[in-house]
A and B are shown apart, each in its own frame.
Chain A
């Protein structure tokens, strides 16, 4: 029942999370889903982390910010689309989101010490995993505001499937890390900057670490940990809440991939991982599939005069190769998909970057159109 898959998702679920490798069109699929959600009279928000401004472009917006912007109904009207829905979009700004998080959760007197700490600055901008952590935090906040009936999250492209699910745990692992506690305990208890933090006679571990990372680095890290210690409880609670949100029956996962062979290993891993984590995807969307061309085109081409006949024949042959390659890719995807529906979106002649093209994409997602093989 692939045709019904997404109409069910868009009418019943509250959170839809699109996952997949970079460059497969996740942002487009996310926006197309939110567009259709909005037309089903649910206030819909698409939230992207992609700084490449693709989403803004395809929604006819100049730019997107860290707060939600409603798509002007006149934009929808211009694309000949119904205007009764409420569609919102935003682009997550990591640094801003982290700062807001600190502002909301740390008493005024203690904020500056965190915001100024160099480890905080790299945590909020550069540390691997912090993007995913804050994305989850933001998603949780947005959902709790209850402003939206449907939130579609376009996840950051991860170079490894595991990163996305592992990342929020990294922070918690660290906060729960007994080694950090033991080695850094004197510092955290004293809570004063400038104190000699390490008793290097005491531990070969700290000694060796200091040799690799530097004493001052470890000291500053200890200071940072001390200053965010009051947040530990918060982090832990939130991690549990986001885990619950991900596991909730009102959350759906959609795995987006391309049919190219180089994408398939990654897609298979992702699919397995989602299932292992009790986040079985609602569907695998195979984006940019070259559909096979109708046989009659070859017959028609033969009736043309040269040189057009040869040109057409070359074009048809090329298309045929691409369609065969993609069909082979889709077969492999179906073979590991098990009971997960596989939905194909054709490659459109030109890039998808306006509302009209998002609409075309969504028609395939909803099963109103299908690729005929």
Chain B
């Protein structure tokens, strides 16, 4: 197993809706923290999941330590906008006067992708953030990115802004963000998918779009919910009808896992599998077992 994601400071986890993206990214964050690497887990303006997965109380908009080496934050546009505006305006009262004016707030929504830009800006700021001694505050930032289509627009925001707005403060912000996102030694995308035909199709397309259009380097593919072969064809044929169906479905699912692996392998990326988990409750134990499967991807600190 190569450990090709050992150096990247930002891992962007994405995939089609419903493939288990959130649980896989939470597990990846846990795996990173368990390797004694200070890890920040970012969710983007969504129903918070990490605290549920790890059995902790809610994280919210402020960076909060979840456990040793693991912090979480749920980015919200309003909060990110406030931090960004304060950085530029310096004065809290001016911020309140201007940005908390409902008319202005409405107006700002129309500036293309400003809210996405400020959220992305906050996240990328933490990627580069250092402690007093110059060491990075976080060794690794893991972003539970939106699902495929939204992720592409989200990651393209700095580029779109560079193309849309004239030179000025927004364009300047957009430029350093874009440069960080497309630097292959800093940023990698992790694509989560399921062993089914359509999710695999979409992953193959997504990898291409990321590489060629968004220019964010795809680093690894995680095939979530694989089914290991259990029945042989001969066994299926020897069974009475209803049992034969059951066994045949299982066999077909296992074959589908096999085909999915072969098709994903053509991407030439690291390919990890997480076996389908059958458990009554989706709790911390499940996330821990997923983390074990993902650990080889991360490597150790240099």
Interface residue ranges, A against B (CB under 8 Å): 21-24, 51-54, 57, 118-119, 121-123, 125-128, 156-157, 159-160, 170, 173-174, 177-180, 183, 204-205, 208-209, 211-217, 219-221, 258, 260-263, 265-266, 293-294, 296-297, 300-301, 304, 308, 311-312, 314-319, 321-322, 324-325, 349-351, 353
**Smallest Cβ-Cβ distance to A54: which chain B residue:** B198
Contact residues in B for A351 (Cβ distance below 8 Å) = 196-198
User: Does residue B135 face the partner (Cβ distance < 8 Å to A)?
Assistant: no
B217 to chain A, nearest CB (A): 22
Q: Mark B210-249, 1 if CB is under 8 A from A, else 0.
A: 0000000000000000000011000100111011001101
Contact residues in A for B97 (Cβ distance below 8 Å) = 204-205, 208
A325-B280 in contact (CB<8A): yes
A216-B166 in contact (CB<8A): yes
A36 to chain B, nearest CB (A): 22
User: Does residue B45 face the partner (Cβ distance < 8 Å to A)?
Assistant: yes
The complex places the Cα of A220 from the Cα of B170 at a distance, in Å, of: 13
| With known contacts A170-B110, A179-B103, A258-B18, A315–B165 Cβ distance under 8 A | no
User: Does residue B266 face the partner (Cβ distance < 8 Å to A)?
Assistant: no
Q: A126-B112, A204-B94, A311-B235 are in contact. List 13 more A-B contacts (CB 8 A).
A: A22-B16, A128-B115, A177-B106, A179-B106, A204-B98, A205-B97, A205-B98, A205-B104, A212-B89, A214-B171, A312-B239, A312-B247, A353-B198
| With known contacts A159-B147, A304-B239, A128–B113 Cβ distance under 8 A | yes
User: Does residue B282 face the partner (Cβ distance < 8 Å to A)?
Assistant: yes
A208-B94 in contact (CB<8A): yes
Give the most central of A23, A156, A215: most B CB within 10 Å. Answer: A23
The complex places the Cα of A300 from the Cα of B239 at a distance, in Å, of: 10
The complex places the Cα of A221 from the Cα of B164 at a distance, in Å, of: 10
A212-B238 in contact (CB<8A): no
The complex places the Cα of A24 from the Cα of B168 at a distance, in Å, of: 42
| SS class, residues of chain B in contact with chain A | helix
The complex places the Cα of A351 from the Cα of B16 at a distance, in Å, of: 15
The complex places the Cα of A324 from the Cα of B157 at a distance, in Å, of: 42
Q: Mark B152-187, 1 if CB is under 8 A from A, else 0.
A: 010011001001111111110000000000000000
The complex places the Cα of A220 from the Cα of B197 at a distance, in Å, of: 46
B187 to chain A, nearest CB (A): 20
B15 to chain A, nearest CB (A): 9
Q: Mark B2-19, 1 if CB is under 8 A from A, else 0.
A: 000000000000001111
The complex places the Cα of A159 from the Cα of B171 at a distance, in Å, of: 26
The complex places the Cα of A321 from the Cα of B249 at a distance, in Å, of: 16
The complex places the Cα of A28 from the Cα of B164 at a distance, in Å, of: 36
Contact residues in B for A21 (Cβ distance below 8 Å) = 17-18
User: Does residue B68 face the partner (Cβ distance < 8 Å to A)?
Assistant: no
B170-A213 in contact (CB<8A): yes
B263 to chain A, nearest CB (A): 14
The complex places the Cα of A303 from the Cα of B214 at a distance, in Å, of: 57
**Smallest Cβ-Cβ distance to A123: which chain B residue:** B112
Contact residues in B for A317 (Cβ distance below 8 Å) = 278
| With known contacts A179-B107, A300-B240, A308-B235, A315–B17 Cβ distance under 8 A | no
| With known contacts A157-B147, A212-B85, A300-B240, A261–B282 Cβ distance under 8 A | yes
Contact residues in B for A314 (Cβ distance below 8 Å) = 230
B17-A118 in contact (CB<8A): no
The contact of A157 among B17, B47, B84, B85, by CB within 8 Å, is B17
The complex places the Cα of A144 from the Cα of B201 at a distance, in Å, of: 36
Contact residues in B for A262 (Cβ distance below 8 Å) = 22, 49, 282
